[in-house]
A and B are shown apart, each in its own frame.
Chain A
Amino acid sequence: MEAAAPPASRTRTERLGRIWEEPPGVLGWVTTVDHKRIGILYFFTAIAFFFAGGVEAMLIRTQLIGPNQATLDPATFNEVMTMHGVTMIFFFVIPLSLGAFGNYLLPLMIGARDMAFPRLNAFSYWVYLCAGAFIYVGLFSGNAPSAGWFDYVPLASKTFSPGPGIDFYALGLLFVGISTTAGAINVIVTIFKLRAPGMSLNRMPLFCFAFLAVSFALVFALPALNTALILLELERLLGMHFFAPAFGGYPILWQNLFWIFGHPEVYIIILPAFGIATSIIPTFTRRRMVAFPLVALAEILVAFLGFGVWAHHMFAVGLATATTVYFAAASLVIVIPSGIQLFSWVTTIITGTPRFKTPLLWIVGFIVLFIIGGLSGVMFAAIPFDQQTTDTYFVVAHFHYVIFGAAVFPLLGGMFYWFPKVSGRMYNERWGQASFWLTFVATNITFFPMHLLGLAGMPRRDYTYPAHLGWSGYNLIETLGAYLLGLGLLSVAANLIVSLFRGEPAGEDPWGGDTLEWSTSSPPPEYNYAVIPTVSSPYAMWDREDREADEANLEAGRRTLEAGHETPAGTVVDGEWDEVLEMPSKSAWPPLTALAISAIFAMVILQLWLSAAIATAVLLLVLAAWHGREPEEA
């Protein structure tokens, strides 16, 4: 065979590379609809908000380092405390999970070339960025919200919070809700329709089950928050009445609507972390997940059952006894699917041959912290105990263990796990392990004493405390722990940044991973897969025959879809090949639409109603233009 003739496979990959090539430069990034680039944009933006939320946390802890401190006056403290919660929940953890990890990995894991709606995907990102900017304009203009992240009325009403801070909160969350809803819809349709032909639902990785569950939860939970926010703004801006008793309203209405969203929200926060854990554990224990069907079912059950427990945030409100008891019972039921997942993970670790590299260390840390957070959570289902400890630091301990320990640790583990895939380089393993231990120990130093502090009687959201109640020692330890935690996280960041430039080349599959993304180059080519993969199980990379079939298909030109910017679509349950989709390649309309929406929100908060109406008309025109170019013309 002459060396001159290129193999057919290389011709195909070159053709695919030309078809899917991303435009260069800044304009290329602004008009991109490629899920991997969008995932990277989400990643860096979410990390920036993590940093902002972290600074807010450091300010809070510094103010509380001792009794009667004057680092922050009460107005500033209340703003910083509110922004910390809002930033971390809405602008860091959900965008990082869904927007960064979800976007980047889901198409790769299901053998597709992009998400179902690539332009909607880009739109989600730009709306997220604009909404984050909107709310931080509020902060930097001295108008941050200050009624806490759950913003109870009447405190949040115009009477008691006359400035625009709460409007930035409510409108900002409505704004970012557009991004999250669009993202959730995109994930569901992608998982339903774009799986590689042959990947029936039961051959889908557990990561995908978690993200499917999360997205359905978002679709049904966000409207409850949106309802509450719309009613609040109609009260504040247009003088209507929903919550004020003097006009026939009810303060508890806000709490009900908020927590109908708020409780599913916390499962939305943690489910992607479960998905990441169920990707890392099989790879590093070198065996399949124990009781896979139970774990998949448990992930879906957690999302579903999470809708029935909201009033356990309201046990001190004075609800009827029967109501209170029902919600406690329902809250206990959710422990079961969490317990099943937990023991499945632990049994997989025991029965496998684990390599405790950095990604698995983060997951082991996650398991320990999740158990502690889960145990304190179960205690809250004992209603009289809840009624003593709610609104104290005991709760602050609980939710930081489950949000920071159980949601963020897997995200950090996932960063190390997929760093080689995304960047093409390896991070420094010793440094990774050291920064894990530093962060893990610091997390416990910061948050464990909060259990004791709550049991010592300190309420939450206090900007200071007296010296003689025995709270000072705990607070000092927590603050020092927080500083140490900051160092731990900076150490994680430094490792990854340095490794980005100086790390060893990673190759395609440094870990022996179980899911499809490990079959591509690192980083993956723009088109993800030259051949749409053949799949027989959720551990596609460990099915050698299928991977050999892919190589044969590439040579022969089967399942390569090289005629254009194409990816296959299938039936929902069985994944049978139904049609070939033509995907859009780049578009300026998503960021322009996000700007049009920003204009509407800006006009509303300035209460310039005519301008808001005009901006709405502009938005409709922009949307029409977006849909002006149809797929076959792309």
Chain B
Amino acid sequence: MEAAPRSMEASGPAEVAAAAARRRAQPSGWWGMALLIATEATLFACLIATYYYLRFNASEWPLGGIEPPAVVLPLVFTGGLLAATIPVFGSVAAAKRGAAGRAWWLLTMATAIQATYLGLQIHLFAGDLNTFSPQENAYSSIYFTLLGLHHAHVAVGLALDVWLLWKLARGITNYRLIGLRAVALYWYFVNVAAVAVVLTQLSPSL
């Protein structure tokens, strides 16, 4: 019974990989992130439900003669965000195998893609703001709120990436691997939310 490992003492790529391989259940940190994702996913679900509630009670949509959104760029950018999943996944897999250096570079690559995505999306967002304002009517309000909340989640994800890169640059420990796994989980959620949000946002044009 006492042979249960003290995984938290694991430090250095090999020890950390061994601790991760030995573990049978998901660590507490992973569960914490999973449950946080549950609340955030529910928040997005409520906002998307609000969008459709307002839409199906309206006689025309978009309201107030606002142009339906352009389709191509948002879909392309979202594709780019989804593509970042590959280096994220790769980073976790590498760390679990003990390839800490490769994990760090893969995370850096993912961060670069995600940051580019956010920058481009903010550019589009600013362009939208020049065309119509959130205060015009319920359509514009829910449009900007839904998109804005999504971008805020991406920004938080980037902050998590930066923090993790800084930590991992100083070596890998059990704690930091769990952190990497939790952040990866967060990005998988953000990706799913991105698809749901962008499809909703573009629905008048689809």
A contacts B directly (C-beta below 8 A):
yes
Question: A227 touching B50 by the CB < 8 A rule?
Answer: yes
* C-alpha spacing A231/B6, complex, angstroms: 46
* C-alpha spacing A576/B135, complex, angstroms: 56
A611-634 CB contact bits vs B (8 Å, 1 = yes)? 000000000100010010011100
Q: B40 in the interface, Cβ–Cβ < 8 Å?
A: yes
Interface stretch among B51-59, B79-87, B107-115, B194-202? B51-59
Q: B78 in the interface, Cβ–Cβ < 8 Å?
A: no
Q: A582 in the interface, Cβ–Cβ < 8 Å?
A: yes
Interface stretch among A49-57, A187-195, A354-362, A475-483? A187-195
Residues of chain A within 8 A (CB-CB) of B1 are 197, 558-559, 577
* C-alpha spacing A627/B164, complex, angstroms: 11
Query: Could you say which of A184, A193, A632 contacts B11, with CB atoms under 8 Å apart?
Result: A632
A231-B145, A240-B141, A632-B175 known; A189+B32 contact, CB < 8 A: yes
Question: B138 touching A242 by the CB < 8 A rule?
Answer: yes
Residues of chain B within 8 A (CB-CB) of A238 are 134-135
Question: B137 touching A248 by the CB < 8 A rule?
Answer: yes
Q: A465 in the interface, Cβ–Cβ < 8 Å?
A: no
Q: A152 in the interface, Cβ–Cβ < 8 Å?
A: no
Question: B54 touching A249 by the CB < 8 A rule?
Answer: yes
A238-253, CB < 8 A from B:
238-242, 244, 247-250, 253
Residues of chain B within 8 A (CB-CB) of A571 are 24-25
* C-alpha spacing A264/B4, complex, angstroms: 39
Q: CB-nearest residue of chain B relative to A576?
A: B24
Residues of chain B within 8 A (CB-CB) of A244 are 138
Question: B11 touching A227 by the CB < 8 A rule?
Answer: no
A238-B134, A242-B142 known; A223+B42 contact, CB < 8 A: yes
Question: A234 touching B28 by the CB < 8 A rule?
Answer: no
Question: B46 touching A257 by the CB < 8 A rule?
Answer: yes
Q: A343 in the interface, Cβ–Cβ < 8 Å?
A: no
Question: B8 touching A582 by the CB < 8 A rule?
Answer: yes
* C-alpha spacing A224/B46, complex, angstroms: 6
Question: B50 touching A248 by the CB < 8 A rule?
Answer: no
Question: B54 touching A192 by the CB < 8 A rule?
Answer: no
Q: B39 in the interface, Cβ–Cβ < 8 Å?
A: yes
Question: B6 touching A579 by the CB < 8 A rule?
Answer: yes
B9-53, CB < 8 A from A:
9, 11, 19, 22-28, 31-32, 35-36, 38-40, 42-43, 45-47, 50, 53
Question: B50 touching A253 by the CB < 8 A rule?
Answer: yes
Of A181, A223, A248, A568, which is in contact with the most chain B CB atoms at under 10 Å from its CB? Answer: A248
Question: A260 touching B28 by the CB < 8 A rule?
Answer: no
Taking the closest CB of chain A, its distance from the CB of B160, in whole angstroms, is 10
Question: A563 touching B6 by the CB < 8 A rule?
Answer: yes
Query: Could you say which of A239, A253, A570, A577 contacts B135, with CB atoms under 8 Å apart?
Result: A239
Residues of chain B within 8 A (CB-CB) of A116 are 28, 31-32
Residues of chain A within 8 A (CB-CB) of B22 are 579
Question: B25 touching A572 by the CB < 8 A rule?
Answer: yes
Question: A234 touching B145 by the CB < 8 A rule?
Answer: yes
Taking the closest CB of chain A, its distance from the CB of B16, in whole angstroms, is 12
B115-143 CB contact bits vs A (8 Å, 1 = yes)? 00000000000000000001111111110
Residues of chain B within 8 A (CB-CB) of A256 are 53
Q: B173 in the interface, Cβ–Cβ < 8 Å?
A: yes
Q: A117 in the interface, Cβ–Cβ < 8 Å?
A: yes
* C-alpha spacing A579/B6, complex, angstroms: 6
A569-B28, A624-B163 known; A580+B5 contact, CB < 8 A: yes
Question: A257 touching B50 by the CB < 8 A rule?
Answer: yes
Taking the closest CB of chain B, its distance from the CB of A61, in whole angstroms, is 37
A539-595, CB < 8 A from B:
558-559, 563, 566, 568-572, 576-582
Binding site for A on B (CB under 8 A): 1-2, 4-9, 11, 19, 22-28, 31-32, 35-36, 38-40, 42-43, 45-47, 50, 53-54, 57-58, 63-64, 134-142, 144-145, 159, 163, 173-176, 179
A-B pairs, 7 with minimum CB distance: A248-B138, A240-B141, A223-B42, A227-B46, A223-B43, A571-B25, A239-B135
